[in-house]
Amino acid sequence: MGFLGIAKRHCGRASASSNIIGEVLSVNGGGPQFSYLGPSGPQKWGNLSPTYSACSNGRFQSPVNIVRSKCVSGRHLKPLDVEYSLAANATLVDNLFNVAMKFDGNVGVLRLNDKNFSFIQMHWHSPSEHQLDGVRYDAELHLVHKADDGGIAVIAVLYRYGHPDPLLTKIQSKLAQLMKVVHHSSSHEQPQVPLGTFTTKQIRKHTRKYYRYVGSFSTPPCTEGVIWNILGKVRKVNFTRAGRGFKGTIDLGMQEQLKTGSTIEREKNRDV
């Protein structure tokens, strides 16, 4: 079992506002093109298509700033029941605004609310999307799970700069290869590099608490109903060698969003 902890927080009344919006999933269902700047930037997402209306009008949008002093005790919550122990072929994919690892086949499961959510992919963001007490961290890892009925549950891990991350160190040669593919690919290609067999057991993260709330995809169509689980322990990562190129890729657009100061204010409150 991974993430074997006591769910000490269910969360409080947290304002759902953020300067940076990233991807929960790497695709938007073939909808209109969106970006992080200009007429197709975050403040305009809801106007790009009727199917994107939740981006502007949604009541339970993501990401959020988790205010720990306002969190509601989650004594009724069970520890996260995660089993990551299987191996399958994996592929590194550059999604323009993040770098993802996708799996072919069953590699793990998250059991939540008497339902199984299959582990389908993970991706990194830098800087983080979610905040703790108004602090945005250096990176955020999303572990994305999908149920048979289409429901989505995400486990998010926040990072600050520090020691090298064992996972990034292990795949740094493949990250370097992906950066080369990105550099030479056309705008019509999705850069990707096969990783071969990958065992998900190595990404298990143990924690004693987590924060849960119901939110949304953080890019169009901003579909709501996503179950977010933010691990309470902030971990360390060091982007070295190939990792620097990797970080540069996932910074694209997000850093520009910070520079322009444009924001999406999502003031609808909810229990976290």
Q: How far, CA to CA in Å, does 163 sit from each of 112, 124, 177, 237, 243?
A: 32, 17, 23, 5, 13
What pLDDT is stored for residue 203 in this prediction?
77
Please, what are the domains in the chain?
9-76+83-260 (3.10.200.10)
* Coil, helix or strand at residue 134: coil
> pTM (2 decimals)?
0.80
Structure tokens at 160: 């600050």
- HSE-CB at 243 with a 13 A cutoff on CA atoms is 18
Q: Is the dihedral of CA 122, 149, 33, 265 positive or negative?
A: negative
CA nearest 18: which of 69, 71, 62? Answer: 62
d(CA 254, CA 260): 10
Q: Using an 8 Å Cβ cutoff, are 13 and 270 in contact?
A: yes
Tens of pLDDT along the chain (272 residues) come to: 333 333 333 443 333 333 222 333 333 446 788 877 788 888 899 999 999 999 999 999 998 999 999 888 777 788 889 998 888 899 998 877 678 899 988 899 999 989 999 999 998 888 888 999 999 998 889 999 999 999 999 999 999 988 877 777 788 788 888 888 887 777 677 888 999 998 887 776 666 789 999 999 888 899 999 999 999 999 888 765 445 545 554 444 444 444 333 233 344 556 66
Put residue 172 in one of left, alpha, beta given phi > 0 → left and psi -120 to 50 → alpha. Answer: alpha
Q: Using an 8 Å Cβ cutoff, are 3 and 206 in contact?
A: yes
Q: Using an 8 Å Cβ cutoff, are 238 and 162 in contact?
A: yes
Based on the number of CB atoms within 10 Å of its own CB, is 193 exposed (0-12), middle (13-18) or buried (19 or more)? buried
CA nearest 74: which of 141, 5, 148? Answer: 5
What pLDDT is stored for residue 128 in this prediction?
87
Q: Using an 8 Å Cβ cutoff, are 47 and 209 in contact?
A: no
DSSP 8-state assignment for residue 36? S
* Coil, helix or strand at residue 136: strand
Q: Using an 8 Å Cβ cutoff, are 261 and 1 in contact?
A: no
